[in-house]
Amino acid sequence: MAIGAEQEQLGFDFMPPKLVKVTPAKLSVWADCPRRYRMTYLDRPALPRGGAWAHSTLGAVVHNALKAYFDLPAERRSPDTAADQVIRCWKGDGFRDADQAMRYRARAQGWVRDYVADLDPELEPIGLERWVSSPAGRLIVEGRVDRIDERDGELVIVDYKTGRHVLDTDDARGSQALALYTVAARRTLRRPCRRVELHHLPSGSVATWEHTETSLERHLARAEEAADELSLAADTLRAGGDREILFPPNTGRHCSFCDFRRHCAEGRAAAPDLDPWAALAPE
C-alpha cells in the first residue's frame, strides 16, 4: 500500500498547510478596506483607477532619484549630482499646473541635495529597490525595500519618506512593512537584521527601531491573522460567495484618496472629492 494511502486510511492528515504569499502593500490595503483589496487584487477584468496624485508622484521621483544617485560611481556622487537626478526622473503627474510642478521639483531637489550631503559618497548599499522573499511561519513574505545597508556585519532596512508629517520612533517600531522586510531580508541575504530606519527627507530626520525576536514575532502573528482572513475571503469568493459580504467597504477620510472611488458609492458619501495635489505639504 502506498504511504499516502496508508496514512489516509489511518485517519492522519499529513497535508502541509498552504502558505499564503503576502506583501506589506497587500496587508495594508486589506486593513484599510476589504472592498479596495478586492478591487485591487481580485476583480477581473481590473476596474479603471483614478488619476495620479501629486504627492505620490513626488515620492516616486525622490525614490528613483536616490536609486539613480547610488547607481553612479562613487567619484561622481555629490549633492549636486543627486539633485540632477531629480530632474532626470521628474514627472509632473497630478500637479495643478506646470508652475506648481516646477516649485515642487525645486523643493525635491533641495531635499535630496541636503540628504546626500550627510552621506558618505563611498556608501555602497547591499540593495537598492531590492526584492526580498522568504517563508515565514504560514506566510511567504515578500516586497521591495528602498535600501538595505550593512553596518557592523548586520543589515539595516532603510525606508524613504516624503510625506508632510515628521515620523518618530513609534512609527518605526509600529511599521508592519519594515518588520516584514526585516524578516525577509535576513532570510534572503542570510545575515542578521534587526534595525529599521525611516528617513524623512523633508525634515532630515531619521526614526529608528531595533527589533527583537519577540517584536518580530508579534508583527508576524498579526500578518498571519490578516493573511488568513484575506485568503479565506478570496477562496470563498472564488467558490461563489457574495463579494459584498466578503469584502465590505471600510469608509473614512481615506476614501478621498482611494483609486477606486468612482466605483464605490459608500466611499464617495463618506469623504469629499479632493484635488490631486491636495496632500502636498503647504508651500
What does the pLDDT average to over 34-52?
A: 96
DSSP state of 275: -
Q: What pTM value is reported for the model?
A: 0.91
Q: CB under 8 Å to 173, separation ≥6 — which residues?
A: 209, 215
Tens-digit pLDDT profile for residues 155-190: 999 999 999 999 999 999 999 999 999 999 999 999
C-alpha to C-alpha distance for 61 and 43, rounded to whole angstroms: 29
What is d(CA 101, CA 90) in angstroms, rounded to the nearest whole number? 9
How does DSSP assign 135-154, residue by residue? EETTEEEEEEEEEEEEETTE
Determine the pLDDT at residue 10. Answer: 47
Location of C-alpha cell 525635491 = 108
Please tell me the distance from the alpha carbon of residue 147 to that of residue 155, in angstroms, as a whole number.
Answer: 10
Q: What is the pLDDT of residue 137?
A: 87
25 φ/ψ angles, rounded to the nearest 5 degrees = -65, -45
Instruction: Give pLDDT tens digits for 192-226.
Output: 999 999 999 999 999 999 999 999 999 999 999 99
Parse the chain into domains and list their residue ranges: 127-219
pLDDT at 16 over 70: no
Mean pLDDT of the chain: 93
pLDDT tens-place string over residues 140-164 = 999 999 999 999 999 999 999 999 9
CATH number of 127-219: 3.90.320.10
Question: What are the backbone dihedrals phi and psi of residue 225, each rounded to the nearest 5 degrees, phi first?
Answer: -60, -45
Quick check: helix, strand or coil at residue 199?
Answer: strand
Q: Which residue, 175, 156, 159, is CA-closest to 218?
A: 175
Give the span between the Cα atoms of 82 and 76, in whole angstroms.
10
Maximum pairwise Cα distance, the chain: 77
77-104, pLDDT tens digit by residue?
Answer: 999 999 999 999 999 999 999 999 999 9
Q: Among the listed ranges 13-17, 145-149, 246-250, which one has the minimum average pLDDT value?
A: 13-17
